[in-house]
Amino acid sequence: MRAFLRRHGYKLLLIIGLILIADTALLLFKTASRTLGIFMPAVIGAPLVIVAAMIRFIPEFFVSLFGKLLKWLLIIGYSCFAIIFLCTTVLTFTEGHKTPPNDADILIVPGCGVKGSRVTLTLSNRLDRAIEYLEENENTVVIVSGGQGRGEDISEAQAMHDYMCARGIEDERIIMEDKSESTEENFKFSKKIADKLYPNGAKVCYVTTYFHVYRAGKVAQSCGFEDISGMGAKGVWYITPNDYLRECVAICVYFVTGRL
């Protein structure tokens, strides 16, 4: 096995690296999204391609002291990232698939992009999950939260309102919050609306994409929500690994900055 790796290990690194870079290239071509998760595979894969090329064409480099040090730094770095990614993925997957409680007073749907005046596929999945909950809990009102960004003809809140009304949710059950530009603002501004509707406190749920439920819940708590639960909506299947990569980095950043 060791002899095989010495002879063919660089090919394995090269193949893995090229696959990761190709993932980024294909998604940049296929989607308009430019999130960190889209670029993460290329960031991970590029060093593997470089190392594979060095092993193939400059094998004596890794015999030197600096080469040995670099090799072990790469092994330790990639191993640590793999462990952290596994832990955050298990955490976010588990949190995203919990069953939400019934009879919430308020359901919050954070926006995540509009093309012109149409909701994106990711956002429509969130809204479909919210509609299911509203149909099962007739006393729940919904806050659709999201402002108007670049390339959007209307606010995300307006697009979500129109989408839900077209699918049978009564207009009076939908409250629009159309100023927010981030997850933090989604919950911060929605908290103000919730406090006006229920001065003595409300039972609140929120719906977001599976991978985002855990971190969104922490953000909601930091904005003052105490009795709040999250529920997950399906994402876009072909960018799911990228979404979990992005969430891994985001959770680490939140942890380091004391926001978790």
Q: What is the pTM of this model?
A: 0.87
CA 256 to centroid of chain Cα atoms: 18
Secondary structure letter of residue 115 according to DSSP: E
Rounded average pLDDT over 136-151:
91
What's the domain count of the chain? 2
Whether residue 226 sits in one domain with residue 113: yes
Whether residue 137 sits in one domain with residue 76: no
Residue-level pLDDT at 8: 61
| Tens digit of each residue's pLDDT (9 = 90 or more) over 54-74 | 888 887 877 788 888 988 999
Whether residue 246 sits in one domain with residue 149: yes
Whether residue 239 sits in one domain with residue 116: yes
d(CA 55, CA 48): 10
- Residue that the structure tokens 């998604």 belong to: 27
Assign residue 142 the CATH number of its domain: 3.40.50.620
d(CA 8, CA 238): 30
Whether residue 127 sits in one domain with residue 252: yes
Residue 134 lies in a domain: yes
Where does the pLDDT of residue 3 fall: very low under 50, low under 70, confident under 90, or very high at 90 and above? low
Rounded average pLDDT over 131-136:
96
Instruction: State what percent of residues in the chain have pLDDT above 70.
Output: 96
Whether residue 81 sits in one domain with residue 18: yes
Residue 76 lies in a domain: yes
Residue-level pLDDT at 32: 65
Rounded average pLDDT over 85-106:
94
59 Cβ contact partners less than 8 Å away, ≥ 6 residues apart: none
Q: What's the whole-number average pLDDT of the chain?
A: 90
Residue 142 lies in a domain: yes
| Tens digit of each residue's pLDDT (9 = 90 or more) over 82-92 | 999 999 999 99
Residue 36 lies in a domain: yes
Residue 15 lies in a domain: yes
225 Cβ contact partners less than 8 Å away, ≥ 6 residues apart: 187, 191, 194, 204
* Residue 114 predicted with pLDDT over 70: yes
Residue 207 lies in a domain: yes
How many C-beta atoms surround the C-beta of residue 67 within 10 A? 16
Whether residue 169 sits in one domain with residue 57: no
The answer to whether 96 touches 211, Cβ cutoff 8 Å, is: yes
Residue 101 lies in a domain: no
Residue at a domain's end among 75, 96, 117: 96
Does 37 or 143 have the greater pLDDT score? 143
Residue-level pLDDT at 68: 85
Show the DSSP H helices in the chain as ranges. Answer: 2-30, 36-57, 65-96, 121-136, 156-166, 183-197, 213-222, 240-256
| Tens digit of each residue's pLDDT (9 = 90 or more) over 176-231 | 999 999 999 999 999 999 999 999 889 999 999 999 999 999 999 999 998 899 99
The DSSP secondary structure of 138-203, one letter per residue, reads TT-EEEEE----TTBSS-HHHHHHHHHHHTT--GGGEEEE----SHHHHHHHHHHHHHHH-TT---
Residue 113 lies in a domain: yes
* Residue 169 predicted with pLDDT over 60: yes
* Residue 35 predicted with pLDDT over 90: no
Residue-level pLDDT at 214: 95
Whether residue 249 sits in one domain with residue 148: yes
Residue-level pLDDT at 229: 94
Phi, psi (rounded to 5 degrees) for 164: -70, -40
Whether residue 137 sits in one domain with residue 88: no
Residue at a domain's end among 96, 126, 143: 96
Domain of 49 in residue numbering reads as: 2-96
Which 3 state secondary structure label does DSSP give 28? helix
* Residue 1 predicted with pLDDT over 90: no
Whether residue 110 sits in one domain with residue 78: no
Whether residue 122 sits in one domain with residue 88: no
Contacts of 13-19 with CB under 8 Å at 24 or more apart are 13/48, 13/49, 13/51, 13/52, 13/55, 14/48, 14/49, 14/52, 14/53, 16/45, 16/48, 17/45, 17/46, 17/47, 17/48, 17/49, 17/52, 18/45, 18/49, 19/45
Residue at a domain's end among 78, 96, 114: 96
Whether residue 113 sits in one domain with residue 240: yes
Residue-level pLDDT at 7: 64
